[in-house]
Structure 1
Amino acid sequence: MTTTTARRLAAALLATSALAAPALAFAQDAAPQEASADQDRAPYMDASLSPQERAADLVSRMTLEEKAAQMYDKAPAIERLGVPAYNWWNEALHGVARAGHATVFPQAIGMAATWDEDLMLEIANTISDEGRAKYHHYIAEDVRAMYGGLTFWSPNINIFRDPRWGRGQETYGEDPFLTGRMAVNFVNGLQGDDEKYLKTVATVKHYAVHSGPEPSRHRDDYSASDADLHETYLPAFKMAFDETEVASVMCAYNAVWGAPACGSERLMVDLLRGELGFDGYVVSDCGAIGDFYYPEAHAYVETEEQAAAEAVKMGTDLNCGDGRGSKFDALPAAVSEGLIDEATIDQAVTRLFKARFELGMFDDDADVPFTDIPFSEVASEENIALSEQAARASLVLLKNDGVLPLQEGTKVAVIGPNADNWWTLVANYNGIPTQATTALAGVREKAGEENVTYSAGSAIAGDIYTTYDAVPASVLFHEDEDGEMQPGLQAAYYDDPAREGEPAKTQVDENIDFYWERTPSNDALADEFGATWEGVIVPEESGSYAFKASRWLEVTVDGQEIGTEPMQLEAGQRYPLTATFGLDSGWTRDALEKFAELEWTRTDIDLRAEAMAAAEEADVVLFFGGIDANLEGEEMPVEIDGFLGGDRTSLDLPAPQEELLEALKGTGKPLVLVNFSGSAMALNWADENADAIVQAFYPGEKAGTAIADLLWGEFSPSGRLPVTFYRSVDDLPEFGDYSMQNRTYKYYTGEPLYPFGYGLSYTEFGFGKMKTPRRHDASQPLPVSFTVTNEGEREGREVVQVYLSHEDRANESVPMKELVAFDVVDLAPGESKTVEFELAPERLGYFAEDGSFVTPTSGRATITAGGGQPGTEGTVSKRVTFRGE
C-alpha cells in the first residue's frame, strides 16, 4: 500500500514463598521450552489458583536483579522460569495506536462531545477486540515489540482545565462528571466482562494534578487546594476505581505539593492506595523517575538509587524509561544502601505479574477468552462503520443562520488548509487508518466533483503548509548501465538499519511513498532494516519547493540536506537525489510501524488568489480551518505565533486563515466554517460573520463522510461541547495556576463565546415540567424526571443535561453550577419520552475547604434540566430544600 493520504505519520499483597523448584511455562505467551512434569506442577502454573497467588509464587523464585529488571517497560525474559520478554507500552487513546493499521475513532475530546456512554462502551470494546487480534497475530510470530502488548496506557482522564494545554485533546473535557462517566465505559470496554480474565489492561492517567504546560512539565511543581483536589482533580479517578476494576494507573511528570507526582506520599500512598482504595499497579510516565534527580528537572533527590527507592516505596511499580535506561536497575544497589527493602520490591513485582496472569498470558489459549478474535477484525468494515457513527455523533453545530443543511445540487467551494489534511482525522496517539476520508474527499463524494471547486487557500499557521503530497513518480529517474535516464529510483534494502554489508535486495522504486506491513528486506513482521534510494529529480514546473521527509528518512537534493527552507528548482533540470533510511528501534518506537515518505509542496503559489477564484464558481463557501495535531500536542518543538511547545499561547484562529475568511466574506457568498481543533477556539469573527459554524474536533478516519452528511442534512447534529469556548486567552488565569477559580463552566464568571454543553440541531426539542421532591434528605438518592419532546419536523437526538446549583455556596470551590446527570434521547418528529434519573448523594453535596465531603442538611438547590446549562432556552427547573434525617 503506497498512498500517502492513507498513512501519514510524522504518539497488594507481599509476595510469599512457595515451592523452590523453577517452572517452565509453555502457554500462549511463554518461551518455547520443554516443561518437566514437576515444573509444570509449580503453583504459578496452576490456573486454579488466584492471579495473586500465582504471581506471589513466581516472584518468590526470582533473584533481586531479575525482579528489578521486570520493573521496566521493556521487561526481559527469564528463561529459567519460562517468563518471556514483555513490552508494557501500548496505546489505545482512540484506537490501537502506533502499530500500523487499526480503526481510527474520533480523538478523545470528540468522543466526549457525543455525551454517549453506550457508544463509548462499544468503541472501547471494539478497540480491545482489535488489540487482542493484533497481540495474538504478533505472538504467533514470536514478536514482543513495543505497541504489541495488551497493557494500554489509556484513557487520559485529566481535567481539561485550560484550553491552552496541547494534550487536552486526549481528555474528555473540563467536567469531572462527564469525564468520569466516559472513563468508566472506556475502561470497561477495554478490560471486558469475563469473570476470570482481563481482555486488555486499561490505565487511567495522568494521576492526578496534571494538565500542562507542556514545555515545563518535567520541572513544574503544582499545588491544588483540598477542595479543588476533591471537586475537580480526583473525581474521575475515583469513579473509575469505584465502578470498574481498572488494573493500572499512570503517575505524572510534574511535582505536586513539593514532591514528584510518582513519589508523592500524599498523592500515591494516602490518597491513591488509601482513600481511593486502588490496588492495581502503577506505571510512571516515561522519564518521570529520571526527573526525580535530573538537575534540569525536579532535582528532588541526588542519585538514581534514591529516585528508584523513593518511587517504589511510594507505590510506583513500573518504570517507563526515557532513552537512558531503566531507573529501577538501581534497585539492587538501593537495597544494599538500605534505601528500600526487598519485600517492598516483591510487592511491586507481584502486582505486575498479577496483571499478566489476569490477561491469561501463562495459560492455554483454549482456556482464555478473546484469544480467537481473528486478525480480520482489525479495521473491519463493521468497525470502520462504528467510527463513522462516532464521528457523526461528535460534530457540534455552533451556529446556523439557515444556510444548513445544503440543498442537493449546491455548488460549493471547498477552501482552507484543513480541507484535505490527513492530520485532522487522526490527531495524536493514533493508528493508521485504512479508509482515511478528508473533508474534501467527503464533500466531493457527496456533492459530485462537478459541483466542487477547491483550494487550500493559506498556510495553516505561520509558514506551515498542509498541502504536501508525495513527490510523484513522474519526476523521479535514475541512470541505467548505458547512461540512459529511466523512471524510478535505484533502491537497496538491508537487514542492518545502518546499511552495513551487502543489501538483501535491490530494485527500482517509482518513488518514496511506503507503508510496509512487513520488513521489505526479509519479510519479517517487526525486524529493523535500512534502505537507500538514488537518482535524480526533474521538476515539471519551475518553482519554490519545500520538502518534508518522514521519520528515519534523510534526504539530499542537489547536494543539500532538505530542511525548513524551500528550494528553487527549474523545470527540466536534473537534480541529484539521495535518501537513506534506517529503522532502528528506540525508546519510543519499535519496528511494528514502518513507513518512508518523501513529500513536497510549492510555496510560491498564490493560494489566496486560488481560493478567491474557487469561491467565484460556487454558491456556498465551505471553509475548513482550525489547527491540527502538528501544532497542539505533547511536548512539541513548535514555536510560532500562537503556539509554544505543544501548547497554545492564543485561542485565535491563526492569522493566515482569519485574513482569508475575511476576504471570502467579501464575495457575498454564504460562508460556512468547519473548525478542526482538539481544544477551544476563540472564533469571535466567525461567530459574527459566518453563516454557519461546525466544530469538528478531530473526527477519525471517516471524518469527511460524516461532515458532508451533516452539511447536506443526512442527519441532525447532536454533538455538544465538552469544554467552554472562551472569547480570549485574556479571560483566563495564568496557565500554571492550578486553582479552579474562573476556570471551566463551573467557576467562570465571564461570558463565554459558546458554553460547555452547547450545540444546535436541525430540529427543536421541548422539555416538560420537572418532577422531583420539594424537600429531600440529601443522604438519599434524589429522583428527577421530566419529558422531552421533538417539536420539529425531522428526527433527531437530544443530549439531556441536568445541573445542580446550590443557592448558598459554602466556599469558593463549591461550583456555581454542576452537571449531575446526562443522557442521549433519540426522537422521531412529535415523539415524547420521559427521562428519569436518580441523583446519587455524592451528586447532591459539595466539598468543604478541607476536602471533606459535605452532605447538606439544610439549604436549597435548584435542579435544572434541558439541552444545555441553566439559562439555556427551554430548560425546566425546580428548587429543592435539603433537610436532615
Structure 2
Amino acid sequence: MTFHSGGAPRRILAVGLATLVGCAYAQTQAPSPAEQRAAKLVSQMTLEEKAAQIQHRAPAIPRLGIPAYNWWNEGLHGVARAGEATVFPQAIGMAASWNTQLIRDIADTTATEFRAKYLARRRPDGSIAGGPGLTVWSPNVNIFRDPRWGRGQETYGEDPFLTARMGVAFIGGLQGDDPEHPKTVATVKHFAVHSGPEPARHREDVRPSLHDVIDTYLPAFHAAVTQAKSQAVMCAYNALDGVPACANPHYLKDILRKDWKFDGHVVSDCAAIADIHLTKSHAYVRTPEEAAANAIKAGTDLFCSSGAKDTADPATTVRAVKQGLISESELDEAVRRLMVARVRLGLLDAPGEGPYAGITAKDFDTPEHRKLSTQAARESMVLLKNTGLLPFKSAPGRIAVIGPNANSVDPLVGNYNGTPSQPITVYAGIKARFATSQVSYVEGTGWVAPPLEDIPDTTLCQDAACNEPGLKAEEFKGIKLAGKPVAVRSEPNARVAWGTPTREERETSIRWTGYIRPSESGIYRFRYSGENGYRIYVDGKLVADVWDIAWPTSDTDIELTANQAYTIRVEAMQNGTRGDHRLQWSRPSASDDVALKAAKQADVVVFVGGLTARFEGEAMSVKAPGFAGGDRGTMDLPAPQQKLLERLHATGKPVVLVLMNGSAMSVNWAEANLPAIVEAWYPGGEGGQAVAELLAGDFSPAGRLPVTFYKSVDQLPPFGDYSMKGRTYRYFSGEPLYPFGYGLSYTSFAYGRPAVSKNAVKAGDAVDVSVDVRNSGSRDGDEVVQLYVSRKAGGAPIRSLRGFQRIHLKAGETRKVSFKVDAQDMSIIDAKGTRVVPSGAVDLWIGGGQPAGTKPAAGAAVRVNIKGQAVLKPF
C-alpha cells in the first residue's frame, strides 16, 4: 500500500485542466469590510481556537464575540430537519418544470424560511437552540448519469446544461443579488465527479476521462461558481485519479481557486476527512493528522465530522500544526474564509439589522409559500401516456384510489426534507377535488411487501400471559429518550396524536413496551406511521429502524407463531407537530381482494405507486429485492405493485397509473396496456392537490423529463463505470421507453420554419435562431421549447440541449421564440480534453422534445455551416 504525506496524485490527469485553461490567480484586490473584520478576528485567535472553528459544530469564543454555530443545514427543496417548513417538490421534480424563474422563487422562499427559523431559535448570545443556521448545503448539481443511483433524486437530472441552469437559478435564490450580504450561503455539491454507487462511496477511486470531465461532470459546477457566485462548495467522498476529493489540490486549488477564481469556503462531506486515512476507505495517508493536513493544504476549510472524536476533532488539527504537517498560516486562511461567510451573513451581529430585517420568526410555512409549492408541483408533473382518458370529461361517479403511495406522506416529501404542516396526499387531493364523487381508498399492497394495516388493540398486552391489555408508555422531554420520563402510563396501543398542525414546535419522545400475540403464523412486517424517527423491536430483534430520517433503513421481515406472546418495544420521536401515528403490520394472510373489490365497484381506478425515500436514497440498508445500499438494481415497479396493477387492469375498469419516485421507472407493461400514466415525482407537501387537479384538467401538464426512462437496466453499462459512453440521451444509442425532454400535454403545439441570422459562420462566431410556436390545440397551455445541437465529429454527443424556454400560450396564440447559439454551443470536446469548434455542419433542432425515436416531438430543424476551426477555453 502506498501512502502520501504531501498530497501528490497517483496519476496526473493528462495535461491538467489548469494548463488547458491557462489562468492564474485573480489579482489581489483591496479587502472588503467583511474580509477585514474576518482577518482581525482570526489574528486574535489561539491555535486551539482556530482548530475548533474549522469543524462544523464550531464552539463559541465569547471574548471575541463569536457565538457557537452549526454549519450543517440542509435546504434541498425547502428547509430540512427543522420541524415544520414549506416542502417543495424534490429537486428532480423541480428540474422537470424546466422553469428557472420558478426554481429561483423556490430557493428565495427557502432562504426566507431559513432566516425565519434562525430568528426563532437564536439565543441572546447569538448561538442557535437546535435550529438551522444560514449556511445551506445545497444544491446538488452532480450529474444523474445512471438511474440506479439512489441519490439521483437530489439532482437536476442527467444533462449538464439543464443542471447548470437549474443550479444557477437555485443558488441565485438562496443567496440573493448582494454577495456582501447574502440571504443565505449556498453550498454546491458534491465536487466534482460523484454519482454512486452508494455502498462504495467512501473508498471509490473515480478516474474519468478528460473528455467526460469537461463535457459532462464539471459544467454545472463551473456555472455555479463563475455565474451564480456560490459562496461555498462541498467536496465529495470518493477519490479522483487516486487522490481523495477533499484532499485533491488539482481540483480544489488548480481548477476551483486558480482557474475559476473561487474565493469562498470548501466544506467536506461528512466523515470525508477520516476517509483520507482510514484503511477501510482510501488509506491515502497513515494518520489522522496527515489527513487533516492534506485536506487543509489542498483547500478544504471546514470539516464535517461524523462524531465527537474523530479525524475532524480540533486536537487532530492542532497536532498536525505542531508536527509541522501544515503551517499555522495555512490554517489561518481556512478560518478566515469561514469567518468571512459568518460576517457576510450577519451571524456575528445583533438580529434585526441588515437588508433582511423585515423577515420575522413567523415567516415560514405560510399560505403564500404553500401556494408556491402547489404551483411547483403542478409544473413538475409529466404526462407520460394518455389515450384520451385524461382529463376526466366529468367527475366520475366512483373513484377507487389504490396503492402504497395513495395516502402516505412519505412519497410527498422525498429525502432531505422538511415537515409539511398540512400535507395533502393523493387520496386527500382527489377526495377534495372530486367532492361529488364517491371516492374510496384501499392500500392494496405495500411498496415491496403485502399491505400494511393498523395492529388491533386486542393483540397487545402488558404481560406474557396477556392478562392485562395495552402497553406501558414512557414519555420523555426531548427527542432522545433521555433522562427520567416525564410521564408513565398504560395505553391500549402505540398510537398517539402528537398535536394539531400549529406553529408551536413539539420535541418529545416516547417508548412503549409490552407483548404482542399474533392470531396467525407466518411472516410479518412492522411499521410505525409517524413522520419522524422510530424503532420497533419484536422478540428482541430490531425489525424497523427509521430513527435517523436522514439515512433511513427499511423494514425487516420476522416470522411469528400464532397465539405466542412476543416482547415488543416501540420507540418514536417527534420534532414537529404531525399527528395520527399508528403501529402497523402486514399479516401473512393479507391479500389484494379488497382492492380488487373496490376497483370493480368504481368507474375509474387511480393506482398510486412507485417508491419512497425509504427505498432510494443515501447510504441506506434496504432489505428488499431490487435495492442495495440506497441504490436500485432494477428500474421495474416493485413486484407486489406490478402484480396488483395487472389484476386491477384485468377488472376491465380504466386505470390511471400515478408514479411517485425520484428516478426513472421501466413501466413497460403499463405503457403497453394502460390508458394513462402520470409521473408525479416526490411532489412536495401539497402534491396530492396538484395530482387531482391534473386528473380533472384544471391545468394542462407541461413537465418534461430531466432523465431518460430506459426500458431496462440491461440497456446500460455497469453502474460503477463512470464513462459516459452509452449513458444518458447524449450518448445512449438504444431505444428508450421515454426520452429525456419528453412530456405530453392536453393541447398541441406547431412549429414554423426556423430562421437563422446566418447560414454560414466562421468558427468561433455565434448565430441567432428563432421560430414561431403556435398553440394549435383547443385549450391554453404551457410548452417547453427545447434547442438541441448536433455535430458529426469525433467526441460529439448524439445531440445536446443548449437552450430551453417554458412559455404559456393561449389556444390559437403564436409566439416567436429566440435563442443565441454561441461558439461553445457549437463546439465539441476531443479525446485530449480540448474544446474545439470544428468545421462542417451544425444541425439545430427546436421543438417540444427530441426529434428522434418512437416518440419524436413536434419541432423543426435548420442547419448552419462552420468555416474553419477554433480552439476555445474548456468552459
TM-score, with normalisation over the residues of structure 2? 0.87
1:445 maps to 432
Higher mean alpha-carbon deviation, 136-145 vs 209-218, is at 136-145
Change (3 A) 1:802 1:531: closer
Pairwise CA distance, 1:716 = 0.6
Which range is displaced more, 717-726 or 680-689? 680-689
Greater mean alpha carbon deviation, residues 831-840 or residues 120-129: 831-840
What residue number does 1:38 align with? none
Could you tell which deviates more after superposition, 415-424 or 255-264? Answer: 415-424
Give, in whole Å, the separation in 1 of the partners of 2:788 and 2:272.
38
- Go from structure 1 to structure 2 and tell me whether the alpha carbon gap of 1:140 and 1:397 turns closer, same or farther (over 3 Å shift): same
Matched residue SS, 1:635: coil
After superposition, residues 209-608 of structure 1 pair within 5 angstroms as 209-323=193-307, 324-327=309-312, 329=314, 330-410=316-396, 411-448=398-435, 450-461=437-448, 463=449, 467=452, 490-493=473-476, 499-500=482-483, 503-505=485-487, 512=494, 531-533=510-512, 546-549=525-528, 564-565=556-557, 599-608=583-592
Query: What SS is found at the alignment partner of 1:640?
Result: coil
Letter in 1 for 2:788: Y
Q: Quote the Cα distance in structure 2 between the aligned partners of 1:263 and 1:557.
A: 45
1:421 CA drift (Å): 2.5
Equivalents in 1 of 2:478, 2:680: separation in Å?
43
Distance 1:702 1:472, change over 3 A: farther
Provide the residue aligned with 1:161 in structure 2. Answer: 145
The amino acid across from 1:325 in the alignment is: D
Local SS of the residue matching 1:842: coil
1:795-843 per-position Cα deviation (integer Å, ceiling 9, x unaligned): 000000001111x31x23x212110100111011001111112233322
Aligned counterpart, 2:25: none
Matched, 1:186 2:186: no
3-state SS in 2 of match to 1:389: helix
In 2, the alpha carbon distance for the partners of 1:416 and 1:498 equals 34
Shift of 1:555: 5.4
Q: Distance in 2 between matches of 1:426 and 1:536?
A: 33
Cα displacement string for residues 433-469 of structure 1 (whole angstroms, at most 9, x for unaligned residues): 11211111112222238522332222312x3x66365
Is the 8 Å Cα contact of residues 473 and 510 (structure 2) preserved in structure 1? no
The partner residue of 1:137 within 120, 127, 130 is 120
Aligned amino acid, residue 434 of structure 1: S
Deviation at 1:541, TM superposition (A): 11
Matching residue of 1:860: 841
Give the SS at the match of 1:182: helix
Structure 2 unmatched ranges of 5 or more: 1-30, 545-555, 871-875
1:805 aligns with 2:805: no
Q: Deviations over 1:509-547 (max 9, x none)?
A: 7764568799xxxx99798x7654467879999998643
Change (3 A) 1:467 1:449: farther
C-alpha distance 818-553 of structure 1, shift in aligned 2 (>3 A): closer
Is 1:58 the counterpart of 2:41? The answer is: yes
Q: Decide whether the 8 Å contact of 1:91 with 1:147 is kept in 2.
A: no
1:678 equivalent to 2:662? Answer yes
Q: 1:391 to 1:60 in 2, by over 3 A?
A: same
CA contact (8 A) 2:451 2:586 kept: no
Match of 1:741 among 725, 745, 765: 725
Alpha carbons of 1:578 and 1:160: their partners in 2 closer, same or farther (altered >3 Å)?
closer
The structural deviation recorded for 1:474 is 9.4
Deviation at 1:292, TM superposition (A): 0.7
Contact 1:55 1:353 in 2 (8 A): yes
Q: Which amino acid aligns with 1:253?
A: Y
Contact preservation (8 Å) 1:804, 1:844: yes
Tell me what 1:199 maps to.
183
> For 2:128, what is the secondary structure of its paired residue?
coil
Give per-residue Cα distances to partners, 1:753-804, cap 9 Å, x unaligned: 1100000000000111111120124434321111111000010000000011
Aligned to 2:86: 103
Per-residue Cα deviation, 1:51-105 (whole angstroms, up to 9, x for no partner): 1111111101111111111110111111221211100000000110011110111
Q: 1:513 to 1:839 in 2, by over 3 A?
A: farther
**Partners of 1:582 and 1:102 in 2: how far apart?**
18
Aligned partners of 1:111 and 1:394 also within 8 Å: yes
8 Å CA contact 1:409–1:451 kept in 2: the answer is no
Q: What secondary structure is seen at the aligned counterpart in 1 of 2:825?
A: helix
Structure 1 stretch 179-188 or stretch 137-146: which is displaced more?
137-146
Cα distance, 1:266–1:309 mapped onto 2, change above 3 Å: same
Is 1:781 the counterpart of 2:763? The answer is no
Same amino acid, percent of matched pairs: 47
What is the CA distance between 1:658 and its match in structure 2?
1.7
- Out of 77, 83, 93, the residue aligned to residue 94 of structure 1 is 77
How many positions carry a matched residue from both structures?
814
Please state if 1:839 is matched with 2:821. Answer: yes
Mapped to 1, the partners of 2:258 and 2:540 lie a distance apart of: 62
What is the CA-CA distance between 1:340 and the residue it aligns to? 1.1
Cα pair distance change 1:215/1:556, threshold 3 Å = closer
Out of 668, 671, 680, the position equivalent to 1:687 is: 671
CA distance in 1, matches of 2:202, 2:761: 48
Task: Give the Å deviation of 1:220.
Answer: 0.8
The AA in structure 2 aligned to 1:313 is: K
TM-score, length of structure 1 as denominator length: 0.86
**2:135 aligned partner:** 151
Deviations 1:829-877 (A, max 9, x none): 0011111122333222222222222234x21101110101133342111
Shift of 1:265: 2.1
Distance 1:824 1:51 in 2: 39
Contact 2:521 2:588 survives alignment (8 Å): no
Deviating more after overlay: 341-350 vs 659-668:
659-668
Give me the CA root mean square deviation.
3.2
Distance in 2 (CA, whole Å) between partners of 1:114 and 1:594 is 29
Mind listing any 5+ residue stretches in structure 1 that lack a counterpart?
A: 1-47, 584-590
Correspondences of 1:747-826 after superposition (within 5 Å): 747-772=731-756, 773-806=758-791, 808-809=792-793, 811-812=794-795, 814-826=796-808
Distance change >3 Å, CA 565–CA 817, structure 1 → 2: closer
> 2 CA distance for matches of 1:833 and 1:496?
56
Note if contact 2:505-2:577 (Cα within 8 Å) is conserved in structure 1: no
Q: Match of 1:202, SS?
A: strand
CA distance in 2, matches of 1:379, 1:863: 44
Contact 1:222 1:736 in 2 (8 A): no
> Are the equivalent residues in 2 in contact too, given 1:635–1:645 (CA < 8 A)?
yes
Pair 506,570 (structure 1): closer, same or farther in 2 beyond 3 Å: same
Match of residue 81 from structure 1:
64
Deviation track 1:710-741 (CA, whole Å, cap 9, x = no partner) reads 11111111000000011111111111111111
Task: Verify the 8 A CA contact 2:786 2:846 in the aligned structure 1.
Answer: yes
Deviations 1:142-166, CA, capped at 9 Å, x for gaps = 6625651111110000000001100
Could you say what secondary structure the match of 1:641 adopts?
Answer: coil
Q: 1:737 aligns to what SS in structure 2? A: coil
